[in-house]
Structure formats: structure tokens, C-alpha cells
Structure 1
Amino acid sequence: MNKTTPELPAAVADSLHSAERLDVLQSVAPDMRLLDPDFDSITHIAADLFRAPVALVSLIEPHTQWFKSRVGTEDTHAPSLESFCAHTIAGSGEVFLVPDACLDPRFAHQPRVAGEPFLRFYAGVPVIIDGQAIGTVCVFDVVARPHTDPQLIVQLHRLSALASSLLKLKDEARKRALKEAALSRDGRRHAMALDAANVGSWLWDIRTGSVAGNGAMNRLFNLPVSGAPLRAKDIFASILPDDRVKTLDKLRDAMAQDEEYDGLFRVRSTGRWLLGRGRVHERDADGRPTVFLGINLDVTDEQSSIQRTRLLLRELNHRVKNTLAMLQSLARQTLRQTSDPHLFMKAFSGRLQAISEAHGLLSDHEWGEIRLSSLFAKQISPYARDYDAQVEIHKDDISLGPDQAVGLGLVLHELATNAAKYGALSTARGKIVLTARSVTEETGRVLHLTWTEVDGPPVHPPERRGFGSILIERSLDKVLGSSVKVEYLPAGVTAIVRLPL
């Protein structure tokens, strides 16, 4: 059915299809197809006032008239084409009367007029919301009524206004319920997200001293989950005493200056670090804070990382000082033994590279311990033609600390460079056999390392001790109880290292 249908006057069809009217109808009555007992009092009053067998509160769409409440019929809807009420909403807001439908050409042909229940009289007043007629309050009789008491029309208008007010109230209540439900869902979702992220949220009533917090709040402060509000004094008591005074001072300053509180403290029972954020949420008429809202985060991992970084920086600073002192000594000793600038740079650069390789390994392990096998590979492989074939290692699983790694790295570098120039690594057949064992002595664990060169050129003891020999013997001076002994045997150089672990 469209608005050009000839059975309805153009004005009525236009009213039925008005976009503005339909927008209001859909907005205030999305449930228009459902009967609503809240409107039954209106239909019963209308039927009693008019002593009419049928009374309706109806809402009208372009093709269907829906009954929100009805008296005298079991129908829940009717076609708008056959609707008396369609003419009512097309009026100027006044009552629409049909004294005798049989005599009215607009309705005489309709099934309910020409047949059962043989409707004759109709009186209807539009239900108007936001200036739009969206429905009616109306009565029907099967007996014609040439005259209608004007006072009854006044009462029908009042019932229509009552229906309009009730629709508005129900619409506002429905929208408020939807909004509250959405807020409740958002609140639950927010609370679940905070709990899942282990973020403690809390509301402190400063006047009573009570604190309402979520489950994460209790877990962070290691407090029992009883369901009852916490006491602020209990929470403050759970902070490590060394941090408590500073935390309270920051809270007081934030409240006094109306600024955000930002604090970092440790929980007394667990030692975990918590970050606190918050600010005053409400104040009384005199400006005194009454409610404080805040959150807490566990930042223990971040604080541990910061502490590790500080320790590493201190360790690095210590190592840099030691390394600089070592480099100065190396430079002086190398220069004394080598007058040629080119030879000096070559010798010094190699030793500098050895220290750099050891430092690189230590840095990769955050200046902790490094494996002995890694140090072997770093210091010897640059001087071997085929490391896997020329270096045979028999060792226990041994790790070295920073001083041990740097010192032993220099020893290995000097031995490897000598072997590459004059010893086993100077020939393709030559080989170095490394034996490293961890031995438990009275003073603790000790590394016994033996460097043995085989299948190299014949060895002749040096006529004088050069700086390389001195460096081998002195590189482990920083490790108490260590020693290096080098023997120039005819079959190959042998070095014996003793290094406390």
C-alpha cells in the first residue's frame, strides 16, 4: 500500500507516510507491536466514560495500526487502509467524530462496518509527541450517536494526553535503562580489564578512612580479600616503613595543591615495588578533600631492570677504569720493546683487540660470567687456519668472571700470536691441545689449564724475555692466587695456567 492508493484521501496518506511522524513513532515506541498492560487503565476509562463496547490505544504505521491496549476486541492490529484512526492523525489535533459510519462514504464499505461487528460510532483523539500524531485514543459503538456530549470529548483529550505522557515516560525509562546497562557493561568490562592487567583501583573516603578497592588492589598489597572495605591505615601499614613517610608526604602535597599524586614504594610483606597514581575526586564546601581516586601498578620487574642497569653501569665504570690503566701499561711496555712505530701499532692493536674481544663477550652477558669455550674461540680462531682442525679442546664446563676473562684473554692472545708467528699455528699440520679442568682445592675451585703445541717447527728458547713473555706472566695479576708458567720445550711451547674460579 503506498500513498497514492485511491482508497485513502491524499492528506491521510501523506500523514501516514510522513517521515517526521514515523521517526518520532519509531523513536518513542520501538515495541509498538506488543500489547502493554500499562495502557489498560486508559482504555477502560475511555470505554466507561463513553459507555462504548470498544476502546483502543493505538499506534499507526503506514500499513498497520497496532493496538497497545484494547477493550472489546481480541484483535492486536488492523490494516491502516481500513483505519478510522488514520483519519484522526491527519486532522489538526482535534477530535475526529463519525456519528454513523453507515452514512459516511469514507467508511460505509469497510468490512467491520458493512459486516460484523457492524461498527457505527467512532470518536478518536490523536496521541501527539513532539508535534507529531503517532497514534490515537478512541472508542467505537455499534449504535449510531448523532450527538456527543462535549464534556466526553474533553475527557478523551485528557486520556490522549495521559497516553502521550505515559509513552514519553516509558521511552525515557527504556533509554535510561539502556544507558545504565551500557554503563554497567562498561564498568564491568573496565573492572575486568583492570583485574586482568593486575591494576589495583581504589576509592578512598577520607572522612571515614575506608577504601573500596578491586581484587587486584588486595593482591598487590598482600591483604586478605574479605569483601569488606579496607581501612586506609591498614594499607599505609602494609608499605615498607622506609618508604611510608615519603609516600604519605606525597599524598598530602597532592591533596593540598590539587595535583596528581605519583608515588613509588615497596610492600612490606613481599618487597614488591608498586607505582601509585591518583588525585582528589571530590571536595566539601570548604574545599577540603573528601574522596581520593587512584590506581596502583606492580613495577617490580621495571625496578629490578633499573637496579640491574645501575649495577651494570657501576661495573662498567669500574671495568673501564681498570681497562684504561691496563691499556696505558700495555702501551708503555709495548713502546719500550718496539721502537718502530709501525711494529708498535701492530703489536699494540693486537693486544687491544684481545681486550676488546673479552669485553664484547662480557657485555653480551651483562658483565656476568662467560663460558671458557667462547673465550678460546674468540682469542685463538683469528690465528688458526682451520680452528676446528688445529685446536683440540678437552675441558670441563667452566665459566669465568670479568677479571678472569680479560686477563686470560690476554694470555691466550699472546700465546696464539706467538704460535702463529713461530709455533704450531705457523704450519698447516700444527696443532694446539688445550686441557682445562676444574679442581677443588682447600681454597676453593681452581682452573688448571694446559696449552700444548704439537707438530709445529722445532722450538728454541728465546735468548731474552720479551714483553710478550712478561705480559703472559703478568696478565692475571688481578686474580689473587693465579699463575702462568711457559716452557719452551723442543716439541712445542707448553703453558700451564692456574686460575682461582
Structure 2
Amino acid sequence: MKDNVQPLSCDVIAVLEAPARLAAVETAMPVFLGPDPDFDDIASLAAGLFGAPISLVTLLGRTDQWFLARQGTPEIRAPSQDSFCARMIAENGNEPLVIADARKDPRFAGLPSVVGAPHLRFYAGVSVVVDSQPIGTVCVFDVKAHAHVAPELPARLKQLASLAASLVKLKEEARRRAMTAEMLSRDEKRHSLALDAANVASWLWDLSTGMVSGNETFYRMLGVKPAKPMSARKFFMAVHPADRKNTIGQLRNALATGNEYDGLFRSAKSGRWLLGRGRVHEKDADGRPITFLGINIDVTEGQLASERTRLLLRELNHRVKNTLAMLQSLARQTLRQTSDPVEFMDAFAGRLQSLSEAHGLLSDHEWGGIHLKMLLQKQIMPYALDYESQIEIHKDEVELGPDQAVGLGLVLHELATNARKYGALSVRSGKVVITARVMNEEGHRVLNMTWHEVGGPPVDPARRRGFGSILIERSLDKILGSSVHVEYLPKGVTAVVRMPL
């Protein structure tokens, strides 16, 4: 039978391989998933019009013709080059074609479906045209020839083909919208996950309904439960009372001017600081705002850090003033004790270093307080020949404030330098025993500390007592209720410190 098949004409090849037509087929049906029940009624109506047992709604590809609907055949595809439809499109374009008896028509007589099973005889078909391209057909077949066809039937068949084209377009549009919706859904989900990961709250204010809705982070930041849309009034009530008026004013200004909203407020429930940004998202035909879109970011840590910085700067300013006054006093008192520049610089530099060590410890702890153990180590270690063996400490856990640390630091410095020059720290056999206990006196905590030197050279009170002793006794003058008493006993210097905490 193949020997009887006529070769494809140039016109049929041109139809099958036309790029624009194939692109339209690809757009209409990117993937053929089999017959579509939505086209069944069209195939049934076509068969009924002509009283034919076989009818098809097809898509014509370059190599295959797929059946979107079929009646009277189990097949779902056929080769395009062997089809009536490819020749119909090449011959008649967009107009219907009726073949009463294919055996007697040289254009179709050699087709396999005519020569062999199912031995087709009658054919009537018309193109399904989408975007000016014939992408397929609506057609009917019969194994018997039809001697007479009512003249109005081809026009009716063309109407069915137009209906099929409209259905193809609708499905294409629905598929495109579904894909767009899916992409939007994926984008929205990705954006939502990104916002949640970044701890960013997003919200939308529908001005027509007065309702505000947002993501989970939005409700969590405001402390609103359950997490569901709320009225604008409830939204404003979730803002801290101290910040509410300003926040409402800024939002109203953004609505009235179209400018961006940029505000900072606290949550009424949690007290956490939230940075808000937003703008009008949509307007009506008259230019009135319809929706307002915004975001919130938790900036509590930054606000607290900023507040800490301001407090530290105020504290630093206070400390600098106190330190300058103390330095002036130290310089004057040191000059009174010596006229030798070298001796003055040695003594004054040591006292400056003592202040620097105390300030350094306080700065490391943001001027909040330091432990007594750290202060003892910083002030005494430079003057001990062997700190571990020469310094014995018995103490309670004590935290000192800035004034206490600076004052006690000077006391320890003077005691340590004197001990290194003349006392227990001047020889390896010498030792300093420090006892620091916290006592409760009339409901107040008081530090009682003793410094006792043993194993050093005999003490000469006349030699040891000087400006250093005066400085020791006056270093805690700024701390009310404190005192320092120094005894130059022959076996070693003893100092008793009393300081309220």
C-alpha cells in the first residue's frame, strides 16, 4: 500500500513546517497530555451534523496530529504526513473542505487510511485558527461515501471550529494565569520566608475596610494574639501610648502627601522598639489612597546600645572632670613633697598609672563596676617580686563602683609602692596579707579591708610617713562614710580600710 502513496506536495510540507504555525501550536499546547473532555461536545456535534461515525478535534504538529477529542476511534494520534487535515489546510486554508468519496479524489486516494483500514471514504474538515494560524482541525469521517451534503453544513462545521479555537484560547489563558499564580505564590512564599528569616514584619492597611493584616512576625512584634487581621484602631492601640500620637501623625502625613512613612515606636505590650517604613500602595481613580503597605524591623538592641552609649558618654564626661581635678591635686601635692624634677616625674607617673589602670578596668566593663580581685591584681602585681608567693588574699566576692574603684586603686598603689621601696615587697621573704570582708551595718553593706605587711625590713615610721600616707588617707574622701587608717608598726605596715558599698 505504501507504493501507492503519493509523495507530499510542497504545499503540504510548507504547512507542516511553517515556523509561525508551529509556534502557535506550541503556545496552545506546550505538552499534549491526551484527549481533553472539554472538547468532546464539539466532536459529538460535528458527527451529528453529518451523520458520520467518526469525528475529531485535532492539533496538527510537524510530525504528529494529536486528537483533543475523538468519536468512533480509539486512537489519540496519527502521522501528520498521512492526514487528510494537512492536505485540507494546504488546499483550502481556513475554509471548509468536503470530500464525498476519497477513492475518487487523487489528492486523497493514496492515503493509508483510504487504501487500508479503516478504508475511509467521506471527509469534511475545517481549520481551527488561533492568532491567524491554523493549529488544528475539526473534522468528520465515514467509511461510506456521501453523495449529497446539505449546503449549510460546512458553515456549521466552521462555527464548531471557531468554538474549538475559542476554547483553546481560554485554556491557554487559564494555563498562563495558573502558571503566573503559581509563580506569584512561590515568590510570595519565598518573600515571606525571607522576611521571617530576617525578622521583618510586613503589613497592609486596607483603607476601604479599615482593616490591617500582616505576616506572623508583624503580630508577634506587636504582641497581638491571635494572629489575624485587626482594625486600624486596634493596630494603633498596639503602639506604646508615649509614641502613639506621633506615629498616627506620621502615618496621616504619609497618606495625605504620598511621601514615605518613616517612624520609630515601641510596642505597647513588649516595649520593644520597632522601626516602621511604608507608603501608599494603591490609589483609586480619583487619586485617593486605597491601600497602605508597610514593614517593621525590631531595632531594640540598637536603641538600647545607643542609650548605653549616651549614658557612658555622660558618665565619661563626669569621670573626666573628676579625674582632671584629682590630677591637679596630685600634681600640687607631689610638687610640695619634692623639687627634684626626676623624683617628681617618677612619683607622679606612678600615680597616673594607678589612675589609668583603674579607668581601664572600668572602661572594659562599661563603667558599670569591677571585681575587687581584678583591682588588687592590677595595682599590686607590678610591685611584687613574686605575686603568687608574696600576696595572700582572703576576701568575699566584692564589686566596686567607679568612684570606689578609682579611690581604692590609689590607696592600693601608694601601699604597694611604699612596700616595694621600704617594706615587705622589697625582699623575697616579705609578704602582704590582705583580708576583705563585707559586713552588714544597719542594713548597709560595708567593705572592711586590712593590708598587713610581714617579713620585711623593720619599719621606720619617720621615714615611711609622708605625702604617700596623706594621699592614702584622703583617697576615699569622695565616698561618704569611708576611711583609711595606716599604722607603721615595727614588724610591718598595717592599713585598715572602711568603705560603704
2:422 matched to 1:422? yes
* Alpha-carbon spacing, 1:110–1:400, altered in 2? closer, same or farther (3 Å): same
Give 1:243's aligned amino acid. Answer: D
Partner SS state of residue 409, structure 1: helix
**What is the rounded CA distance, in whole Å, between the counterparts of 2:89 and 2:381 in structure 1?**
99
Partner SS state of residue 477, structure 1: coil
2:397 matched to 1:391? no
- 1:199 offset after TM fit, Å? 4.2
Partner SS state of residue 87, structure 1: helix
- 1:194 offset after TM fit, Å? 4.4
The corresponding residue for 1:372 is 372
Matched residues, percent identical?
61
**What is the rounded CA distance, in whole Å, between the counterparts of 1:344 and 1:93 in structure 2?**
114
Partner SS state of residue 462, structure 2: coil
**What is the rounded CA distance, in whole Å, between the counterparts of 2:186 and 2:350 in structure 1?**
69
The corresponding residue for 2:139 is 138
* Alpha-carbon spacing, 1:155–1:490, altered in 2? closer, same or farther (3 Å): same
**What is the rounded CA distance, in whole Å, between the counterparts of 2:428 and 2:131 in structure 1?**
102
2:471 matched to 1:457? no
How many residues are paired up? Answer: 496
- 1:308 offset after TM fit, Å? 2.0
Partner SS state of residue 126, structure 1: strand
Q: Is the 8 A contact 1:33 1:68 kept in 2?
A: no
Q: Which moved more, 1:31-40 or 1:231-240?
A: 231-240
- 1:404 offset after TM fit, Å? 0.7
2:419 matched to 1:411? no
Report Cα offsets for 1:385-411 as digits up to 9, x if no partner. 332233222221111111111111111
Give 2:80's aligned amino acid. Answer: S
Give 1:485's aligned amino acid. Answer: H
Partner SS state of residue 461, structure 2: coil
Partner SS state of residue 172, structure 1: helix
Q: Is the 8 A contact 1:7 1:81 kept in 2?
A: no
* Alpha-carbon spacing, 1:257–1:329, altered in 2? closer, same or farther (3 Å): same
Q: Which moved more, 1:166-175 or 1:342-351?
A: 342-351
Q: Is the 8 A contact 2:422 2:464 kept in 1?
A: no
* Alpha-carbon spacing, 1:464–1:419, altered in 2? closer, same or farther (3 Å): closer
The corresponding residue for 2:182 is 181
Q: Is the 8 A contact 1:391 1:433 kept in 2?
A: yes
**What is the rounded CA distance, in whole Å, between the counterparts of 2:127 and 2:208 in structure 1?**
56
Q: Which moved more, 1:86-95 or 1:441-450?
A: 86-95
- 1:98 offset after TM fit, Å? 4.8
1:136-285 superposed matches below 5 A? 136-145=137-146, 151-191=152-192, 193-194=194-195, 199-206=200-207, 208-225=209-226, 227=228, 229-283=229-283
Report Cα offsets for 1:362-395 as digits up to 9, x if no partner. 1111111111111112112222233223322222
* Alpha-carbon spacing, 1:108–1:457, altered in 2? closer, same or farther (3 Å): farther
**What is the rounded CA distance, in whole Å, between the counterparts of 2:286 and 2:116 in structure 1?**
77
- 1:39 offset after TM fit, Å? 1.2
**What is the rounded CA distance, in whole Å, between the counterparts of 1:207 and 1:24 in structure 2?**
43
- 1:81 offset after TM fit, Å? 4.3
Report Cα offsets for 1:12-62 as digits up to 9, x if no partner. 445434444333322221242321111122212222222222111112333
**What is the rounded CA distance, in whole Å, between the counterparts of 2:182 and 2:497 in structure 1?**
78
1:298-309 superposed matches below 5 A? 298-309=298-309
**What is the rounded CA distance, in whole Å, between the counterparts of 1:156 and 1:286 in structure 2?**
49
Q: Is the 8 A contact 1:430 1:453 kept in 2?
A: yes
Q: Is the 8 A contact 2:216 2:227 kept in 1?
A: no
Give 1:144's aligned amino acid. Answer: A
**What is the rounded CA distance, in whole Å, between the counterparts of 1:256 and 1:344 in structure 2?**
72
**What is the rounded CA distance, in whole Å, between the counterparts of 2:51 and 2:87 in structure 1?**
23
Partner SS state of residue 119, structure 1: coil
1:45-60 superposed matches below 5 A? 45-60=45-60
Give 1:448's aligned amino acid. Answer: N
- 1:305 offset after TM fit, Å? 2.3
Give 1:182's aligned amino acid. Answer: M
Give 2:30's aligned amino acid. Answer: P
- 1:282 offset after TM fit, Å? 4.1
Give 1:165's aligned amino acid. Answer: S
**What is the rounded CA distance, in whole Å, between the counterparts of 1:383 and 1:322 in structure 2?**
27
Give 2:140's aligned amino acid. Answer: V
Any unmatched runs of 5+ in structure 2?
Answer: none
2:362 matched to 1:362? yes
Partner SS state of residue 479, structure 2: coil
- 1:475 offset after TM fit, Å? 1.1
1:311-390 superposed matches below 5 A? 311-390=311-390
Partner SS state of residue 125, structure 1: strand
Partner SS state of residue 85, structure 2: helix
**What is the rounded CA distance, in whole Å, between the counterparts of 1:14 and 1:207 in structure 2?**
58
TM-score calculated relative to the size of structure 1: 0.89
Give 2:344's aligned amino acid. Answer: F
Give 2:412's aligned amino acid. Answer: L
The corresponding residue for 1:34 is 34
**What is the rounded CA distance, in whole Å, between the counterparts of 1:172 and 1:150 in structure 2?**
35
Q: Is the 8 A contact 2:58 2:68 kept in 1?
A: yes
**What is the rounded CA distance, in whole Å, between the counterparts of 2:129 and 2:82 in structure 1?**
21
* Alpha-carbon spacing, 1:22–1:457, altered in 2? closer, same or farther (3 Å): farther
Q: Which moved more, 1:55-64 or 1:167-176?
A: 55-64
**What is the rounded CA distance, in whole Å, between the counterparts of 1:468 and 1:226 in structure 2?**
69
Q: Which moved more, 1:68-77 or 1:79-88?
A: 79-88
Q: Is the 8 A contact 2:201 2:295 kept in 1?
A: yes
Report Cα offsets for 1:133-164 as digits up to 9, x if no partner. 33222221212357766543333333323222
Q: Is the 8 A contact 2:219 2:227 kept in 1?
A: no
Give 1:33's aligned amino acid. Answer: L
Partner SS state of residue 342, structure 2: helix
Q: Is the 8 A contact 1:35 1:69 kept in 2?
A: yes
The corresponding residue for 1:116 is 117
* Alpha-carbon spacing, 1:414–1:52, altered in 2? closer, same or farther (3 Å): same
Report Cα offsets for 1:62-99 as digits up to 9, x if no partner. 33321100111111122334333333454544445555
Q: Is the 8 A contact 1:390 1:431 kept in 2?
A: yes
* Alpha-carbon spacing, 1:497–1:146, altered in 2? closer, same or farther (3 Å): same
